[in-house]
Amino acid sequence: MQPLLLAQFTATSCIGLGVAPTLASLAGLRSGLTRCDFETVKIDTHIGEVPGVDAQRLPAELRRFDCRNNRLAELALRQDGFLDALDAAAARWGRRRIGVFIGTSTAGIMQTELAYRARDPVSGALPADFEYGTTHNSFSVADFVRRRCGLEGPAVAASSACASSAKVFGTARRMIEAGLIDAALVGGTDSLCLTTLYGFHSLQLSSPAPCRPFDVARDGISIGEAAAFALLERASAEISGDSILLYGVGESSDAYHMSAPHPEGLGAKRAMQAALEQAALEPGDIDYINLHGTGTPSNDRSESQAVTSIFGPTTPCSSTKGATGHTLGAAGALEAVISALAIRHGMMPGGVQTIRIDPTLTAHYIKENRHAPLRRVLSNSFGFGGTNCSLIFGRAG
Partner 1 sequence: MKLRGHIGGIGVLGPGLHNWPQAAAILSGKQSYAAEPTVLPIPSMLPPAERRRTGRVVKLALGVALEAAARADADPAQMPSVFSSSGGDGHICHEICQALALSTREVSPTRFANSVHNVAAGYWSIATGSMAESNVLCAFDASFVAGLLDAMTQIAVDRQAVLLVAYDTEYPPPLHAKRPIPDALGIAMVLTPERTATSIACIDVALTEECADRMSDPPLEALRSAIPAARALPLLRLLACGAAGRVVLDYLDVSRAAVQVQPCG
Active site residues: 162, 292, 326
CA dihedral 370, 375, 381, 382 (to 10 degrees): -100
Instruction: Count CB-CB contacts under 10 A for residue 63.
Output: 10
Options 5, 109, 192, 226; binder of partner 1; rule CB under 8 A? 109
DSSP state of 376: E
Strand-pair category, 226-234 with 4-13: antiparallel
Scanning 54-62, 83-91, 250-258, 304-312 for contacts with partner 1 by CB under 8 A, the matching segment is: 250-258
By rule CB under 8 A, what count of residues binds partner 1? Answer: 69
Q: How far apart are CA 207 and CA 201, in angstroms?
A: 8
Instruction: Count CB-CB contacts under 10 A for residue 371.
Output: 10
> Burial of 288 by CB count in 10 Å (0-12 exposed, 13-18 middle, 19+ buried)?
buried
Side-chain half-sphere of 343: how many Cα atoms within 13 Å? 27
Scanning 44-52, 231-239, 254-262, 312-320 for contacts with partner 1 by CB under 8 A, the matching segment is: 254-262
38 contacts partner 1 (rule: CB under 8 A): no
61 contacts partner 1 (rule: CB under 8 A): no
> Burial of 351 by CB count in 10 Å (0-12 exposed, 13-18 middle, 19+ buried)?
buried
DSSP states along 335-370: HHHHHHHHHHHTEEPP-SS--SB-TT--SEE-SS-E
- Shortest reach from residue 390's CB to partner 1, in Å: 11
- Shortest reach from residue 27's CB to partner 1, in Å: 34
253 contacts partner 1 (rule: CB under 8 A): yes
108 contacts partner 1 (rule: CB under 8 A): no
Options 54, 57, 92, 202; binder of partner 1; rule CB under 8 A? 202
Options 35, 63, 119, 371; binder of partner 1; rule CB under 8 A? 119
Tell me, residue by residue from 131 to 160, as one string, x for binding to partner 1 by CB under 8 A and - for no binding.
xxx---xxxx-xx--------x-xxxxxxx
Q: How far apart are CA 353 and CA 383, in angstroms?
A: 22
Q: Which is nearer to partner 1, 266 or 377 (CB)?
A: 266
Closest CA relative to residue 312, chosen from 381, 364, 361? 364
Scanning 63-71, 234-242, 282-290, 378-386 for contacts with partner 1 by CB under 8 A, the matching segment is: 378-386
Options 74, 215, 225, 254; binder of partner 1; rule CB under 8 A? 254
Q: How far apart are CA 388 and CA 47, in angstroms?
A: 24
Scanning 5-13, 107-115, 281-289, 352-360 for contacts with partner 1 by CB under 8 A, the matching segment is: 107-115
Residues forming contacts to partner 1 in the complex (CB under 8 A) are 42, 96, 105, 109, 112-113, 115-117, 119, 124-126, 130-133, 137-140, 142-143, 152, 154-161, 167, 170-171, 173-175, 177-180, 194-195, 198-204, 251-259, 266-267, 270, 274, 383-387
